[in-house]
């Protein structure tokens, strides 16, 4: 707990004040809740001259009360546990921590516009003039850690796009039956993950899309101190609070600080799992499994393909397929996105002639904020029918584009890339890029299979198919395809 207190104090120094809701788990009692809340308040005071304050009644949730704002104005950190006395009846009630978090977010959001200003200002809300609280992040610290990926024995999601993945992940967690995740500290782990994600989803649904949540273990949140096992669950709603000076600091791998400074997870969510390794004490490489999960409302992802054909599966030659001129596709928005991303004019007619009869899939993030256009290509010595029968049709990433205004922010590129390689073209895709393209480092990090310079050309080839040998037919077909594609840029 001391390490967590140190991290929260560091966030306070950075201008991010926390409201802490403490959940003592299944063994919770009034005495234990009070003891742990006071202990945390004392530890926070050890690292920060602004004393924390333990709240023991539910007046904080009263919309007509100024108690919360008086505490925040004084620069103090409120610590709330589950057992609160009613300011009306005086009776002590046990409240669910998840419900308290959602209620507190809604209370604060009543004073937060849908588009928060860069600098917080004072507003009138029927109460005395109070500073506007801008909720930056909801932090969930739980011994179960980040949300686990399906099929992975220990690797958590690094990023969750709620508008795309929430229902799928919740369903996956219901099906989770691996013994390793059955119980921890007497808790059903899959159920705990579902509760955490459900709470975060409910809280973020009423907040601006820029607000994020971070789910991590207390041990990870206290990386600078590495305390002994922490058994309490701490849920902290961090606020960008008026009146606090913002200071610069060196980058850190503490996920709470890293996320709040960069609005990104420590490790990019589109990095292949096998590239997330580190050396153990014996010098051997092992997967980095202790990771936080960054969660955002995100954006919807639309995937289009030929009717009755799942993306990633080639349609039978001669059957109807998706075209970029179909009414399902907004060609004008698609063209603008490509030209904005590449900073080049597209020869639309020539491009349509080249790709319109072989679209493998169209993956669109948001309202044409990012896109992946994939085509079915064939080796030049085979007909379409022969390539289909021999399973040698190649899924080729023809265009990967993100609006300039969304590059480097919001995870648009990661969202599109992950949808492509994890959900629809998991068997592998190939693509090419100019040798001097500054994006090649990003491509290289995500190419599970490898890269190859195509000698005699200006191209570098990338692929996501693992385990290909230099003389494999698949790799030879990839190179053949990458060499024969003709660009469709306007001269």
For residue 367, name the pLDDT band (cuts at 50, 70, 90). Answer: very high
Q: What tokens does 485 get?
A: 């594609």
Measured in whole angstroms, the distance separating CA 406 from the mean position of its chain's CA atoms is 15
Is the pLDDT at 112 greater than 60? The verdict is no
**C-beta separation of 335 from 350 below 8 A:** no
| Structural domains in the chain plus CATH codes | 2-296 (3.40.1160), 301-484 (3.40.630.30)
Indicate if the pLDDT at residue 425 is higher than 70: yes
Query: What are 254-281's pLDDT values in tens digits?
Result: 888 888 788 888 888 888 877 776 555 5
134-191 per-position pLDDT tens digit:
788 999 999 999 999 887 556 889 999 999 999 999 999 987 555 444 666 667 889 9
Q: What would the mean pLDDT of 72-82 be, rounded to a whole number?
A: 88
* CA-based nearest residue to 66, from 134, 130, 21: 130
**R_g of the chain, CA atoms, integer Å:** 26
**Residue 77 CB-half CA count within 13 A:** 37
% of the chain surpassing 70 pLDDT: 83
- Spatial distance between the Cα atoms of 412 and 401, rounded to a whole number of angstroms: 10
Q: At what angle do helices 189-204 and 97-109 cross, to 10 degrees?
A: 10
Q: Percentage of the chain with pLDDT > 90?
A: 47
Average of per-residue pLDDT across 331-345: 97
- Both structure tokens of 321: 């397929």
pLDDT in tens, 279-324: 555 655 555 557 899 999 999 999 998 887 777 888 888 888 899 9
Model confidence pLDDT, tens digit, residues 414-423: 999 999 998 8
């Amino acid at each position: 707990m001391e390490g967590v207190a140190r991290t929260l104090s560091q966030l306070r120094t950075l201008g991010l004040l926390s409201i802490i809701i403490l959940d003592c788990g299944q063994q919770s009692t009034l005495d234990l809740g009070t003891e742990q809340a006071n202990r945390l308040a004392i530890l926070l005071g050890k690292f920060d001259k602004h004393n924390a304050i333990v709240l023991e009644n539910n007046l904080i949730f009263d919309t007509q009360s100024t108690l919360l704002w008086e505490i925040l104005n004084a620069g103090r950190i409120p610590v709330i546990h589950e057992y609160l006395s009613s300011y009306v009846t005086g009776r002590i009630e046990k409240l669910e921590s998840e419900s308290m978090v959602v209620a507190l977010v809604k209370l604060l959001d009543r004073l937060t516009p849908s588009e928060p200003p860069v600098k917080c200002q004072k507003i009138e809300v029927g109460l005395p003039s109070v500073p506007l609280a801008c909720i930056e992040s909801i932090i969930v610290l739980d011994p179960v850690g980040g949300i686990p990926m399906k099929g992975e024995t220990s690797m958590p999601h690094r990023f969750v796009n709620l508008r795309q993945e929430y229902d799928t992940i919740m369903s996956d967690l219901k099906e989770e039956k691996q013994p390793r995740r059955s119980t921890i500290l007497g808790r059903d782990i899959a159920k705990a993950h579902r509760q955490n994600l459900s709470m975060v989803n409910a809280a973020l649904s009423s907040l601006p899309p820029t607000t994020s949540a971070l789910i991590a273990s207390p041990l990870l949140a206290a990386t600078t101190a590495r305390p002994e096992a922490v058994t309490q669950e701490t849920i902290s709603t961090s606020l960008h609070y008026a009146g606090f000076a913002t200071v610069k600091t060196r980058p850190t791998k503490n996920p709470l600080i890293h996320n709040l400074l960069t609005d990104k997870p420590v490790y990019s969510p589109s990095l292949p799992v096998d590239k997330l390794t580190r050396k153990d004490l014996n010098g051997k490489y092992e997967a980095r499994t202790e990771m936080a999960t960054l969660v955002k409302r995100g954006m919807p992802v639309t995937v289009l393909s030929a009717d009755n054909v799942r993306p990633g599966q080639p349609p039978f030659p001669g059957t109807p397929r998706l075209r970029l001129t179909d009414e399902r596709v907004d060609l004008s928005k698609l063209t603008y996105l490509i030209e904005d991303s590449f900073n080049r004019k597209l020869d639309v007619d020539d491009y349509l002639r080249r790709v319109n009869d072989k679209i493998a899939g169209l993956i669109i993030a948001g309202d044409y904020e990012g896109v992946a256009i994939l085509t079915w290509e064939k080796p030049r010595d085979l007909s379409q029918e022969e390539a289909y029968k021999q399973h040698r049709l190649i899924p080729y990433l023809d265009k990967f584009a993100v609006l300039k205004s969304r590059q480097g922010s919001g995870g648009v590129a990661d969202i599109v890339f992950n949808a492509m390689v994890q959900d629809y073209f998991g068997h592998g895709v190939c693509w090419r890029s100019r040798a001097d393209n500054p994006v090649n480092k990003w491509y290289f990090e995500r190419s599970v299979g490898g890269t190859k310079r195509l000698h005699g050309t200006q191209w570098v080839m990338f692929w996501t198919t693992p385990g290909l040998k230099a003389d494999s037919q698949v790799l030879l077909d990839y190179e053949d395809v990458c060499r024969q594609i003709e660009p469709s840029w306007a001269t």
